[in-house]
A = this chain, B = another copy of it.
Amino acid sequence: MSADILIINGRLFPESGSSDLVDNGFVAIRNGLIVDVGPMTDMTGYETGNLIDARDTLVMPGLINSHCHAAMTLFRGLADDLELAAWLNDHVFPAEARHVSPEMVYWCSKLAAAEMLLSGTTTVADGYFFEDKAARAFCESGLRSVAAHGVIDFPAPGVPDPSRNIEAAARYIGAWRNRDPLVTPAVFAHSPYTCSTETLKKAKMLAEENELLFFVHVAESQIEQSMIRDPWGETPVKHLDALGVLDERTVCVHCVWVDEEDLDILAGRNARVSICPQSHLKLASGYAPLSGMLDRSVKVGLGTDGAASNNGLDLFREMDMCAKLQKVRSLDPVAVKARDVLRMATKAGASVLGFDNRSGAIRKGYLADLVLVDLKKSNLQPFYSPDNLVYAAGGADVRDVIVDGKIVVREGHPLTIDLDETLFQVRKIANHLA
C-alpha cells in the first residue's frame, strides 16, 4: 500500500473523550484523508515518499478555531485596558475605517494564518471585510477555513452602501462556492444590534439558499442586552429566535449574557455556539455559562476572537483559560474538565463548523488535519495524561502540522508562508497606525 505521508513511532491521542493514548503508533495519510491509524505493531507495509518520525511527539487532531477576525492582527495591542465603548469607538472602529483595505486584509490574515498554523490550529472560522482576500490568504497558507463575509447595516470597508450588503455577500459566495476544497464560504451578520431584523433574515436566507453556515455575534455584553431589550422587550437570543434564524446551521458567537430560557432555546433549535473566553475576560464581558450549555448538549466550540481583543490566536492557551475560568466562576474545580475543552477545540468545534464525523479526531476516513506536539519540551514533562495539552502546553510546543494531507509546518517552521515577507508587509501597514 502507498501513503502520501506516513507518521510512525508517535504517541497518539486519537480523540478527546477516549482517554486511551496509543503509546507507539502510526498514521497513514493518502489524498488528504487519514487512511489508517493504530499501534505500530498493527502497521502493515507502506510505501511513502514522506516518512515522519514522530518519536518524542504526541500526535493529536488539529485544533479548530470556531471564531476569529484574522485580519485584526493589525490591531493587536493597539489599544488595551480600555472600556469596551472607548475601545471600539475611539480606537478599533476609526482604525478600521482608515486602515482596512484589500491589501491589509490579505497580509494581516496571512500573518494570522501563520500564527494559527504554528500553534496547531488547522481550521479557522473567520469573519471580516474584504473576506475574499482573507479566503485567499488562508488557502494559500494551507489553512482550512470557513470564511464568512461580514454583513452590517453601516458603511463598511468594501461595502460603502449598506443597502447592498446582502448583494456583496452573495457575490462573495458565488465566487468561493466549490472553488477550493480548503475554503467553505459563509455569511456573518454582525449582531442583532448592528443589523436590522430584515438584514438578519436576508443574511440567513442567503446562507440557507447555499446550504452554508450563518454566523452572528450575540449576547456578548451587558450593554447589548439592554440595546435589544429596550426596543424589542426580549433577550438577544429570543430576538433572533423570533426571526426564525436559529437552527443547526447557525453559529451564535459569544453567548455570555444568556439566561436559562435562552439556553433552552439554543438547545431546542440545535443552534451551534462559539465562545471566546480570553476575549470575554479582556473586554470584561463576563463568563459564558458553559456548564449550562454542555448540560443541554449544545454543541460549543472554542474561538480566539480577533487579536485586538485577546491578543493572540493560540487555542492551547484558550483551552487552558476556558477550563480554569469555569472552575473559579463556580468555585468548583471539577466544573469543566481538561477533556471537555479538548473536545470543544477538536470534535465539537468540527461539529459547530459543519464537519461532523469528518474532522476533529484521528480516525480512518477523516480529514488529515493533524498536529505533532514536541514532548521533549521542559514544560510538558512528565506527561501522565492528555490533560497536559490543556494545562501545560502552549502553541509553541507544536512541532509539525499537517492540513488536508499536506505538511504545512515542519520543526516549528511554516512551509507554506513566507513569514519574513509577511512580517515586512504587516509592519509596513502598521507603521501608518503607530
A sample of 24 inter-chain contacts (CB < 8 A) reads A76-B388, A80-B337, A81-B334, A81-B338, A83-B333, A83-B334, A111-B378, A114-B378, A115-B379, A222-B331, A281-B328, A282-B333, A284-B335, A286-B331, A310-B391, A311-B388, A312-B394, A313-B379, A376-B423, A381-B423, A382-B430, A382-B433, A394-B395, A396-B397
Interface size on A, residues (CB 8 A): 72
Cα distance, A206 to B95, chains bound together (Å): 59
In the complex the two chains form, is B382's CB within 8 Å of A427's CB? yes
B321, B330, B384: the one within 8 Å of A430 (CB): B384
Residues A119 and B379 in contact in the complex (CB < 8 Å), given A84-B333, A282-B324, A394-B394: yes
Residue of B nearest to A81 (CB): B337
Q: Mark A269-301, 1 if CB is under 8 A from B, else 0.
A: 000000000101111111100000000000000
In the complex the two chains form, is B286's CB within 8 Å of A77's CB? no
Q: Which residues of the other chain, B, contact A76 by a CB distance below 8 angstroms?
A: 381-382, 384, 388, 392
B321, B324, B384: the one within 8 Å of A77 (CB): B384
Q: Which residues of the other chain, B, contact A82 by a CB distance below 8 angstroms?
A: 333-334
In the complex, whether A147 has a CB less than 8 A from a CB of chain B is: no
A156 to chain B, nearest CB (A): 23
Cα distance, A321 to B80, chains bound together (Å): 15
In the complex, whether A387 has a CB less than 8 A from a CB of chain B is: yes
Q: Which residues of the other chain, B, contact A281 by a CB distance below 8 angstroms?
A: 324-325, 327-328
Q: Which residues of the other chain, B, contact A426 by a CB distance below 8 angstroms?
A: 381-382
In the complex, whether A1 has a CB less than 8 A from a CB of chain B is: no
Which A residues from 314 to 343 make CB contacts under 8 A with B? 314, 317, 320-321, 323-325, 327-328, 330-335, 337-338
Q: Which residues of the other chain, B, contact A422 by a CB distance below 8 angstroms?
A: 378
In the complex, whether A74 has a CB less than 8 A from a CB of chain B is: yes
What residues make up the interface of A, taking CB atoms closer than 8 Å to B?
73-74, 76-78, 80-84, 87, 111, 114-115, 118-119, 222, 278, 280-287, 307, 310-314, 317, 320-321, 323-325, 327-328, 330-335, 337-338, 376, 378-379, 381-385, 387-388, 391-392, 394-397, 419, 422-423, 426-427, 430, 433-434
Cα distance, A111 to B379, chains bound together (Å): 8
Cα distance, A299 to B294, chains bound together (Å): 41
A312 to chain B, nearest CB (A): 5
In the complex the two chains form, is A378's CB within 8 Å of B328's CB? no
A405 to chain B, nearest CB (A): 24
Q: Which residues of the other chain, B, contact A283 by a CB distance below 8 angstroms?
A: 327, 333
In the complex the two chains form, is B286's CB within 8 Å of A388's CB? no
Q: Which residues of the other chain, B, contact A388 by a CB distance below 8 angstroms?
A: 76-77, 311
User: What copy number does this chain have within its complex?
Assistant: 2
Q: Which residues of the other chain, B, contact A286 by a CB distance below 8 angstroms?
A: 328, 331
Cα distance, A280 to B387, chains bound together (Å): 18
In the complex the two chains form, is B333's CB within 8 Å of A381's CB? no
Cα distance, A302 to B87, chains bound together (Å): 27
Q: Which residues of the other chain, B, contact A376 by a CB distance below 8 angstroms?
A: 419, 423
Residue of B nearest to A112 (CB): B378
Residue of B nearest to A397 (CB): B396
Q: Which residues of the other chain, B, contact A80 by a CB distance below 8 angstroms?
A: 337-338, 385, 387, 391
A341 to chain B, nearest CB (A): 10
A308 to chain B, nearest CB (A): 10
Q: Which residues of the other chain, B, contact A278 by a CB distance below 8 angstroms?
A: 324
Q: Which residues of the other chain, B, contact A307 by a CB distance below 8 angstroms?
A: 392
Residue of B nearest to A110 (CB): B378
Given contacts A78-B382, A78-B384, A281-B328, list 18 more A-B pairs with CB under 8 A: A73-B381, A73-B382, A77-B388, A81-B333, A81-B387, A82-B333, A111-B381, A118-B378, A282-B324, A284-B330, A284-B331, A284-B335, A311-B388, A312-B379, A321-B324, A382-B426, A382-B433, A394-B395
Q: Which residues of the other chain, B, contact A378 by a CB distance below 8 angstroms?
A: 111, 114-115, 118, 419, 422-423
Q: Which residues of the other chain, B, contact A310 by a CB distance below 8 angstroms?
A: 391
In the complex the two chains form, is B287's CB within 8 Å of A387's CB? no
Q: Which residues of the other chain, B, contact A314 by a CB distance below 8 angstroms?
A: 379, 394
